[in-house]
Amino acid sequence: MRRCKICQKEAVVFFKSHRISLCEEHLKSFVEKRVKEAIKSHKMINRGEKILIAVSGGKDSLSLWQILTNLGYEADGMFIDLGIPGFSQESWEKCEKLSRRLSRKLFKTSLEEIFGMNLLDIAKLERRVPCASCGMIKRYIMNNFALKNGYKVIATGHHLDDECSILLGNVLNWQVEYLRRQDPSLKEENGFVRKIKPLVLCSEEEIENYARVMNIDHVGKGCPLSKGATSHFYKSIMNQIEEKMPGTKLRFYKGFLKIKKDTFGDEKPAELKPCIRCGYPTTAEICSFCRLHERIKTKISQQNPEKMEEPLS
């Protein structure tokens, strides 16, 4: 029987990367401590700031909600219903369940309400993989909602494995501009609220175990539309490296953050101006979201001419 390194009670988990066995209680404090460390060292949250968490119903964002609440932060959830059959409804229910347990507000909007169609239809119309539009849409909606409702910070459930996967892709292609921008805390500016990733020092395995011992009910499978995504492939590559050389993920990511500024330089601020339609910061005249909205509107009006007079938003 493995014993907890801290208290010698029976361990429920062994983390190879840290060579540590932990009991339920100390697994919980282990994860929460790492989140606290990330928040502190990247100045993610100022005293008294309300946080809006982008919750998807998966283990990562729901664990984040639990952890931030346990750490004493005021964090509410925002769920965007993508309208994916057999997935979005269950995802929403998991979010609702945790919202009740934590007694925190949970907001909801849906692509159907906004665009009159779900993500699958949008992807078809755009002739791109769903992920390509999904990220942009979610960022837009989250930012707008936060601005209008007094949230200073948006938190997402990206963890160490997500960040390593992004980092590996950026490095293999030497995307210097993306490397400059890859940060666990993107400060507020130009109409964007601050965006933070408090789980970046926790691996997926750690979060998975946290969710388990905290009884966080969540959707078990990832988004069915992202199957075959490059990010999954990079994660499997990083997992192989981690398996052979435990500790590599954390070294890769923390090492990057350490040398980032000196090596890749300061992020060059993009020349952003407000979208002439909606005011969202954009490099173009009309932002990507409004352009998508317009394409969808045109499509719908072609299919149902009687709807043509409907206003854009």
Per-residue b/e over 45-73, b at no fewer than 16 CB within 10 Å? beeeebbbbbbbbbbbbbbbbbbbbeeeb
Stretch that binds a second copy, among 135-143, 146-154, 229-237, 280-288 (CB under 8 A): 229-237
| Nearer of residues 135 and 255 to a second copy, judged by Cβ | 255
Binds a second copy by CB under 8 A, chosen from 237, 272, 278, 286: 237
- Nearest distance in Å: CB 22, a second copy: 26
Residues 6+ apart with CB under 8 A from 234: 164, 165, 166, 168, 169
In the numeric block, which tokens belong to residue 148? Answer: 């209008």
109 or 248: CB nearest a second copy: 248
Measured CA to CA, the distance from residue 272 to residue 279 in angstroms comes to 11
Match 């283990």 to its residue by tokens: 59
**Site size toward a second copy, by CB under 8 A:** 21
Q: Please report whether residue 47 would count as binding a second copy according to CB under 8 A.
A: no
CB of 252 to a second copy, least distance (A): 5
| Residue 313, token pair as written in the block | 């938003």
Which parts of 161-180 interact with a second copy (CB under 8 A)?
A: 171-174, 176
Locus of tokens 């409004």: 290
Nearest approach in angstroms of CB 104 to a second copy is 38
Rounded to a whole number of angstroms, the minimum distance from the CB of residue 195 to a second copy is 24
| Residue (of 19, 17, 16, 22) closest to 3 by Cα position | 22
CB of 225 to a second copy, least distance (A): 20
- E-only strand ranges, the chain: 13-15, 20-22, 51-55, 75-81, 106-110, 153-155, 185-186, 194-196, 273-274, 281-282
With CB under 8 A as the contact rule, the residue among 90, 229, 264, 267 that binds a second copy is 264
Chain mean position to CA 101: 22
Question: Could you give the maximum distance between any two Cα atoms of the chain, in Å?
Answer: 71
Interface pick for a second copy out of 100, 255, 307, 310 (rule CB under 8 A): 255
- Number of C-beta neighbours around residue 245 at 10 A: 11
CB 232, min distance to a second copy, A: 11
Q: Which is nearer to a second copy, 210 or 252 (CB)?
A: 252
Interface residue with a second copy, options 256, 287, 289, 292 (CB under 8 A):
256
| CB 230 to a second copy: min, Å | 8
Residues that bind a second copy (CB under 8 A): 171-174, 176, 230, 233, 237, 240-241, 244-245, 248, 251-252, 255-256, 258-259, 263-264
